[in-house]
Every structure is written in structure tokens, then in C-alpha cells.
Amino acid sequence: MRKPIIAGNWKMNKTATEAVKLINELKPLVERAKPEVVVCVPYTALWAAGEALEGSKIKLGAENVAWADSGAFTGEISAEMLLEAGVEYVIIGHSERRQYFGETDESVNKRLKQALKLGLKPIVCVGETLEEREKNRTRRVLKKQVLEGFKDISAEDFKDIVIAYEPVWAIGTGKTATAEDANKTIGFIRSLVRKVWGAETAKALRIQYGGSMKPGNAKELMAMRHIDGGLIGGASLVAKDFADIVNYKER
Ligand code: PGA
């Protein structure tokens, strides 16, 4: 059985001070959580968040990682820096990075390899835009993102990898893919992984849904066979909402 993983993606929200406040609100609410719980916070809040999380079962995540070890890469943050701050998970290839900051399947692949090399657990995002969906290109787009994003990644490496399927049109829009639809598409991603990396890898791989996931739809989404968790943007900024998603089973 795959252990569900619910991760908050705070994006460019929360100063270090605000991060500590939110984490302190969140901690008691998810104490008995069954899923794995992660908060991915801005770089400047990592140290403070890491300290605030000490002794809790919530894990610390970052929102990106450089592909190089160190050197002349102004504005980038290395895996080693993240590890020292206590980071365990890292989001790679979020659609906002792809859309606004020139992230490509190739750069995703490089960042992914670097994260794995240093022992960070990657949450790799894939998903189609509205235009791609309307032109019936969803599967073609996902296939390219998976084959190129995970190029030269071994089946062994997949043990530490989480994929987040986030249809771009559902992010921050209030529009969610229907649970059936999300399940079908995630099933397609799983079948792709099976073809290239084998049945065992595909079976063990955790694939999250992301895009306007909230307390009101978490249970239905999480009940789906292929959906193993959520990557939560907006709702992760409110302790009660995020906790309600984490505790979807008990509600
Ligand atoms: P949302 O964002 O939950 O606000 O739609 C999800 C994400 O971008 O990871």
C-alpha cells in the first residue's frame, strides 16, 4: 500500500516570522495525521520553519533546487544549502516555474538528478494547460513531461520520487478536475511509468493531485485508486484548511 502524502506549497507567501506562526497553528492540528505531511516553504523561511517543526512529524520542503553543486549561479540555491536547513522534500518543475521562469523538461531533469544525487526527495510536477487540454493534447503533453523530465532516472531512484499531477487550468482557479478525471489521468501517468520503469516501480510510486484541492473535495479525490495525496497551494496557507485536508479520512 502506498502511504498518502499531503504537501503544502506555500509559493511566494509567508515571511519567516509568519511561517513560524502558521506552523505553530498547524502542528497540534495534524499531530495524529495518517498521511505523510510536508510543508514546502520559501527559501528565506526554511531555517525558521525547520526549527519550528522540530519534534513534530511534519516534514520540511523547499520549492526548487539548483542543478549544480555550487558556483556562479546568481539567485540559485543548492541542494547542500537545503539539506543543511533541514529540508527533506523539494518541489521541481512546478507549472509556475515552467510558465514564468523558463523551466523546461530538460532543466527539470537536471534539477531532479541533482536532488537525487544529494538525497533530497523530489516532488516533480507535471500537467497540461487549458489550451492543451482543449486541443486533446493532455496525454501527449504528459508523456513528454514524464519521458524527458525523468530521462536517465533509474527504477531504483523512483523509490524517493513523488509525482504531482497538476492540471495548470485548475491551479489557483477554484476549478478542480473531477475526481474521476484526475484519477484517469493519474492512472495514465502510472501506466507510462510502468512501460518504462516496470510494474513494481509504477505500483510503488506515489502520485499526488494538485489544483484547487480543499477540505470540501479532498475526501472524494483521495478515495480514488490512483490518487496518493495532494499538493496544496492556497488552502495550505490556512492552518485549519490544510489540517482538514490532511485529516480527510476522519472528517
Ligand atoms: P492551488 O495550488 O491549490 O492554490 O490550486 C496548487 C499548486 O500550485 O501546487
The full DSSP string for the chain is -PPPEEEEE--S---HHHHHHHHHHHHHHTTT-SSEEEEE--GGGHHHHHHHHTTSSPEEEES---SSSSSS-TT---HHHHHHTT--EEEES-HHHHHHS---HHHHHHHHHHHHHHT-EEEEEE---HHHHHTT-HHHHHHHHHHHHTTT--TGGGGG-EEEE--GGGTTSS----HHHHHHHHHHHHHHHHHHH-HHHHHH-EEEEESS--HHHHHHHHTSTT--EEEESGGGGSHHHHHHHHTGGG-
Pocket test for ligand 1, best of 96, 124, 128, 171 (most atoms within 8 A of CB): 171
Ligand 1 pocket, 216 CB below 6 A?
no
- pLDDT single digits (tens) 113-142: 999 999 999 999 999 999 999 999 999 999
Which atom, in ligand 1's list, is nearest to the CA of 235? 3
Please determine, for residue 1, whether its predicted confidence score (pLDDT) is greater than 90: no
pTM over 0.85: yes
Ligand 1 pocket, 166 CB below 6 A?
yes
Average pLDDT over residues 47-60: 97
- pLDDT single digits (tens) 204-245: 999 999 999 999 999 999 999 999 999 999 999 999 999 999
Catalytic residue among 36, 103, 166, 226: 166
Catalytic residue among 94, 96, 103, 132: 94
